[in-house]
Amino acid sequence: MALRLKLVPDTTTINFFRWQWLTFGSSIALMIASLVIVAVMGLNFGIDFRGGTTIRTESTQEVDVGTYRSALQPLGIGDIIITEVFDPGFRADQHVASIRIEAQENAEAATPETVARVQDALREIDPSITFPSVESVGPKVSGELVRSAVIALVLAALGIGIYIWFRFEWQFALGTVVASVHDVLVTVGILALFQIRFDLTTVAALLTILGYSVNDTVVVFDRLRENLRKYKTMPLRDVMNLSVNETLSRTIMTVVTTLIALFALLIFGGDVLRGFVSTIIFGVILGTYSSIYMAKNLVLWIGVNREPKANPKAGTKFADIDA
């Protein structure tokens, strides 16, 4: 026998419904908690969504946030947020900070004068400072970006729901959509809790989570559909347990390879991507959890029509494809 790393034993008979009230209940609780956290703490919107200017500074001297702040205070340009940026990829003498300035009043567009004044003030205290990136977004665009982001998420959830409905049954579609909404919602809650910056790429991350979560759920449902045909008299709950157990090894393998790639990005991918990647990591873990514990519970409660269908091959339409 060849040596194999096995994350999951060959056959498992875990009863995934044993703690169903606890698991499902905590999912519901997490969703409510996320909503509350977002409502109370708010999201740390980046300039994409609230307008304003971000200036990235780079210097050979250490960043002293206090000095920066006192240099910029006299300019009277409203709220300034200064954060030092760390990354293992930086050189020893590479000190990076990010300065965020609020959208200036009665200015739709970016204000080059303000940016120039900030840059001059910083050059005064640190002649070696450079500005690798300056980004400004006006409040008009940022409002539209919020709208299109919400539209994107809703459209994606709807599109997925409709596809699953066509390929499976409406119960499965509902379970899938609810599970993926759960993943996205709780991820947003985590972003609010840790005040991770929420910008356009975060929306891309949320859409990716949606895709991944559905991907995972579909694999379980695909097996469930197959087993429902195979074991016509077995209670639905047992067929579900069997299907999750049979696909458990794959579920774990895929989440591990995906996380391997994501952690490589998190550690080596640079600070610009960090928020994006950590968001996807939260979502992938949640997605795995919800496809095991959440989606199928919903389907179980709604029930599935197990009468033989007119076309028994409907579900394995693609199984005839031959290479």
Partner 1 sequence: MLQIPLWKRFLIWGICALAVLFAIPNAFYGRVESHNDALAAVAVQGTAPTPQQQAAIESWPSWMPSGLMNLGLDLRGGAHLLAEVQLSDVYADRIDGLWPEMRDALRAARAEVGSIRRAPSEPGVLRIQISNPDGIARAVQIARGLAQPVQSVTGTGQNDLDVRGEGDTIVIQLSEAERTATDQRTLQQSLEIIRRRVDEVGTREPTIQRQGDDRILIEVPGIGSAAELKSLIGTTAQLTFNTVVNRTTDANTPVEPGQELLESEDEPGVYYVVQATPVVSGEQLVDAQPAFDQNNRPAVNFRFNGSGGRIFGDYTAQNIGRPFAIVLDERVISAPVINSAIPGGSGIITGNFTVEQSTELAVLLRAGALPAGLEFLEERTIGPELGQDSIDAGRTASIVAMIAVVVFMVACYGWFGMMANIALAVNVIAIFAVLSLIGATLTLPGIAGIVLTMGMAVDANVLIFERVREELRAGRNAVRALDEGFQKALSAIIDANITTFLTAVIMFAVGSGPVRGFAVTLGIGIIVSMFTSIFVARSLIATWYAWRRPKTITV
**Closer CB to partner 1, 26 or 84, in the complex:** 84
Residues 41 and 192: beta-carbon distance below 8 Å: yes
Q: Should residue 140 be labelled a site residue for partner 1 when binding is judged by CB under 8 A?
A: yes
**Closer CB to partner 1, 24 or 131, in the complex:** 131
Q: Should residue 204 be labelled a site residue for partner 1 when binding is judged by CB under 8 A?
A: yes
Pairing label, strands 44-45, 197-198: parallel
Q: Should residue 242 be labelled a site residue for partner 1 when binding is judged by CB under 8 A?
A: no
**Closer CB to partner 1, 20 or 119, in the complex:** 119
Q: Should residue 247 be labelled a site residue for partner 1 when binding is judged by CB under 8 A?
A: yes
Tokens of 8: 């999951």
Among 135, 165, 234, 285, binds partner 1 (CB under 8 A): 135
Task: Select the span of 6-14, 72-80, 182-190, 304-312 touching partner 1 (CB under 8 A).
Answer: 6-14
**Closer CB to partner 1, 34 or 258, in the complex:** 258
**Closer CB to partner 1, 41 or 155, in the complex:** 155
Q: Should residue 7 be labelled a site residue for partner 1 when binding is judged by CB under 8 A?
A: yes
Q: Should residue 57 be labelled a site residue for partner 1 when binding is judged by CB under 8 A?
A: no
Q: 81 - beta bridge partners?
A: 100
Among 117, 167, 229, 237, binds partner 1 (CB under 8 A): 167
Residue type, 236: L
Residues 282 and 190: beta-carbon distance below 8 Å: yes
Q: How far is the CB of 39 from partner 1 (least distance, A)?
A: 25
Q: How far is the CB of 137 from partner 1 (least distance, A)?
A: 5
Q: Which residue has the tokens 């514990």?
A: 293
Going by C-alpha positions, the residue among 246, 177, 171, 267 that lies closest to residue 214 is 177
Q: How far apart are the first and last CA of the chain?
A: 30
Q: Should residue 146 be labelled a site residue for partner 1 when binding is judged by CB under 8 A?
A: no
Cα distance between residue 217 and residue 220, in whole Å: 5
**Residue 63 per-residue DSSP state:** P
Q: Should residue 203 be labelled a site residue for partner 1 when binding is judged by CB under 8 A?
A: yes
Alpha-carbon distances, residue 282 vs 9, 22, 176, 205, 305 (angstroms): 26, 21, 18, 10, 34
